Amino acid sequence: MKSMNTSLTPQAPANEPAATAAPAAQSPRSLLKQLQTQFPAFRDFLPLSIGIDKQILAVMPELDRKTMRTALGIHTGSLRYLKVMEKAKVRHDLDGTPGAEVTDTHRAHATQVLQERFKKEAERKKAEREAAAAEEAARVRADKLNQLTAKFSRKG
């Protein structure tokens, strides 16, 4: 049995368990809350610098990269961030310092994503209204049938 355990352990380097153990408990959403508390660029929903992930890792090297990327995706995909990006001129570092310009392409992308989202939401609401109307029509039809059934069953 000892040989089985030793054949499995060499795959994980000695320094990796320490790097993954602490962040494993942190969800992307809890990491995002921490970033929003700790850094003005996240708190104020400022357009983030390209390569902000490297800045985060420089300050917080123990972070799990996958969790960090997921948290960044949640943040940059949020309605509030996209609305800011749509009109933004300058990107910002972690501390809120202005940096490179926001390109027209990135502004256009934010606009496109917002339009697609609003369109999907409008379609979803329309489908809900149609389903509710169909449900109401079925209820009215059933009520009328019940009334007719009651009316004609009494005369018999």
Query: How confident is the model at residue 69, as a pLDDT?
Result: 94
**What tens digit of pLDDT does each residue of 86-135 get?**
999 999 998 888 989 999 999 999 999 999 999 999 999 999 999 999 99
Cα dihedral sign for 143, 149, 152, 156?
negative
Residue 8's pLDDT band (boundaries 50, 70, 90)?
very low
pTM, whole model, 2 decimals? Answer: 0.62
**Cα–Cα distance for residue pair 96/99, rounded to 1 Å:** 9
Which residues, 6 or more positions from 92, have their beta carbon under 8 angstroms from its beta carbon? 40, 41, 46, 47, 48, 49, 98, 99
Q: Which fold has domain 25-102?
A: Fertility Inhibition Protein O; Chain: A; Domain 1 (1.10.1710)
Over residues 15-19, mean pLDDT: 43
Task: Name the residue among 62, 66, 71 with its Cα closest to residue 35.
Answer: 71
